Structure 1
């Protein structure tokens, strides 16, 4: 994709805070109508990237474009972006209706009240909070507050929505519900969305494109399936998968035909098969069984290394059993942690 095709572009962007390099020569293209998730641990540069798009930070080098407009030096108000923060940031003394209407009543927009009413009503319906419009913001649950915070951004219909871990403070059930809602809304609106998180489930379930970020640089960009199945490094491989990918030294698997430069062999949980001891690629002992209802996670120790695999609950295995392990679709990594294509 050429740069001119993208709705939002960061080109060779670098940002320092004192001696710390928060973002380093970062290039990202966010296509119009896509849901892009930046995935990485705390301190990787995710939030700084969002703030550079919003205009809350100015890059030391590189440029930022929204649509076909260079906005590198433009203030936030001139960028047509909406930012949803991790904390709700609602006006507690206002009703839900007035919280949603607030962005439309700013002096820079001067939206007529009948249009405000239409937009607020439509947005509340999208978020399933139409029955709460008369409530004070302080009389809402955490999940409802986050819906209002999302609604304040959605009511604007900007060029791009920027979201900084907006679901992280909610409980697991609400997070799961709002993940589905947010993806549904993004698809219904055809909205362009840049979302940052350290949560791999959010990335896998919502993104059309994932950008894995490492020390202020993009380690890999691709669809969730591409990132999961063909990670280009150990770092990327470890970002997705629950339980995490199994990584074993090459020497523990003498029976496998690996490339000569491979030093580490990776296998996803679902790509390990328990076999009879004879003819297996590795041998180990069952140390723990996690019962998950429809399946079990089997923890196996090979030498001093533990691997986890999936088995049916009626597999008939017990702690202490000796087992053989066969790898399906293994991934090979060299001594620098770079995946070796096969």
Structure 2
């Protein structure tokens, strides 16, 4: 594995700026996730590192070597795409061995067999090696696609939303598997996703990207607890952070126009609270309930005890506990 660095890279497609002055370093053995909505510039960033796109300005360095002008084959990267992209006429074994048999590598056949079987065991598909790709389930095909990358030992693995086409249960299982494998192999991974749960549970650092700009990068806890602005705050947290007019609350700091209240910032008070809200509906989720409230015409979602005897139309008192504050432009304001 090796450190990978993007230095002030920008990329435009005609009049659309896909990536703007982006700088990012992925350390040796680190798992970094780029989190953002569709069109934020996540995939373009991966393609710049892979050499599938050339930056308009800036540079790409892998292992301390400037590879900005190098062809993809000369960059020592492995790319896992959103779609499986398997060869349907080949077996699972042949699909996974394909990259190792490329003329530029010429790995001995005995070493290929040992490596493929080792990775297949890690991915729990060792019994499927003789199956054709078309005989597999969606989850198994995605494991093969990941395995095809893992059989190599590149400088970095680039993963473009590889779990997005799986169902929720399988996606949860694959998150655990992929993180376990990354830890076991000491692999360097740059992982693109729009799913905050994937980013929070797998990555050692998260980069929040929007409109081609990297807004903030840090550990999942840092991004969650200390977002640089309201947009970053809204990317993490389930239910999503409540962004409310500061005028609804007393004691907001100077310059604050918006209060950011996550569920842990809102407590249902037994007595008198800071504000009162009306219950609109309750979502019962087993161990907890989502309480949907109307607070001065603003929608608020928080958590409540599933045993609480509340119903639509009830009035509850809310107490704020160390919320976040933002100015008129969405920038963070110190409490």
Q: Secondary structure at the match of 1:293?
A: coil
Q: Is the 8 A contact 2:36 2:235 kept in 1?
A: yes
Deviation at 1:103, TM superposition (A): 0.4
Partner of 1:7: 3
CA RMSD of aligned residues (A): 0.9
2:33/2:203 contact within 8 Å kept: yes
User: Cα distance, 1:243 vs. partner?
Assistant: 1.1
Number of matched pairs? 334
Report the 3-state secondary structure (helix = DSSP H, G, I; strand = E; otherwise coil) of the residue aligned with 1:64. strand
Report the equivalent of 1:195.
191
> 2-side partners of 1:315 and 1:272: how far apart?
16
Q: Which residue of 2 aligns with 1:324?
A: 317
Rounded Cα–Cα distance in structure 1 between residues aligned with 2:255 and 2:270: 29
- Structure 1 CA distance for aligned equivalents of residues 160 and 102 of structure 2: 23
**TM-score of the superposition, structure 1-length normalised?**
0.96
Instruction: Give the whole-Å Cα distance in 1 for the aligned partners of 2:306 and 2:147.
Output: 44
Provide the C-alpha distance between the structure 2 equivalents of 1:149 and 1:173, rounded to a whole number of angstroms.
19
Deviation track 1:236-255 (CA, whole Å, cap 9, x = no partner) reads 0010111110111011113x
The corresponding residue for 1:3 is: none
Q: Unaligned 5+ residue runs, structure 2?
A: none
Q: Deviations over 1:97-120 (max 9, x none)?
A: 111110000000011100001100
Is contact 1:269–1:308 with CA below 8 Å preserved after alignment?
Answer: yes
Aligned with residue 301 of structure 1, among 294, 315, 322: 294
Question: TM-score by structure 2 length?
Answer: 0.98
* Distance in 2, Cα, partners of 1:175 & 1:98: 25
Q: Contact 1:179/1:202 (CA < 8 Å) preserved in 2?
A: yes
Whole-Å separation in 1 of the counterparts to 2:275 and 2:70: 59
Q: Does 1:288 align with 2:281?
A: yes
Counterpart of 2:50 (choices 54, 66, 70) is 54
Aligned twin of 1:41: 37
2:159 partner SS: strand
**Runs of 4+ more than 4 Å apart:** none
Structure 1 position 277, deviation (Å): 5.4
Q: Distance in 1 between matches of 2:322 and 2:131?
A: 54
Instruction: Give secondary structure in 2 for the equivalent of 1:188.
Output: helix
